[in-house]
Amino acid sequence: MSAIPLTTSGAERLQKELHRLKTIERPEIINAISEARAQGDLSENAEYDAARERQAFVEGRIKELEGTLSNAQIIDPAALDVEGRAVFGATVEIEDLESGERVTYQIVGDVEADIRANRISVSSPVARALIGKSEGDVVAVQAPAGVREYEVLGVSYI
């Protein structure tokens, strides 16, 4: 399996989730299964079935997180010598030249991308266009509605 790029904050979030699943969720599910078993007939026990489904989900997520973290390549953009260019982990403020709308994105790995938190995947069209660009550069991004142009207003490495 190839290396999975993660920011330092992304790796911390995944480690916290893994810890929560192992120390809180897993014991709660084990208790729920024990209580459901104590009620008798398991063939018609909805609580037992629900607990087993939840257990399967949690165990799958634990396995997924452990795999991701074991193959993670943690990248700290502040430690790189990039001279103000947009790179993996950088936070980039851009302005849509047509609408004037400003937005700030952090360029992150696929597993930590979350558009609601303004974290975009390094493999997204916007991130690919921004990589290597500096403040003042204009980039063209092929979007479903056509080509959009953005000006890079700032690059930071938080």
pLDDT given for residue 57 in this prediction? 97
- Give the number of domains in the chain: 2
Based on the domain organization, do 52 and 64 belong to the same domain? yes
pLDDT at 82: 80
Question: Is residue 151 located within the same domain as residue 81?
Answer: yes
Strands lying side by side in the sheet with 119-121: 119-121, 102-108, 91-96, 146-156, 138-143
pLDDT score recorded for residue 79: 81
Residues 59 and 119 in one domain: no
Whether residue 84 is found in the same domain as residue 146: yes
Instruction: Give CA–CA dist 15/95, Å, rounded.
Output: 34
Q: Return the SS3 of 56.
A: helix
Query: What is the block-wise mean pLDDT of the chain (158 residues), using blocks of 10 residues?
Result: 86 96 96 86 80 95 95 87 88 94 94 94 94 93 89 90
**pLDDT for 145:** 82
Together in a domain, 142 and 94: yes
Q: What pLDDT does 58 receive?
A: 96
Instruction: Please give the pLDDT value at position 48.
Output: 87
Is 0.85 topped by the overall pTM?
Answer: no
For residue 32, give every residue at least 6 positions away whose Cβ sits within 8 Å of its Cβ, in sequence order, or none.
Answer: 47, 50, 51, 54
Q: Of 32, 60, 75, which residue sits at a domain end?
A: 75
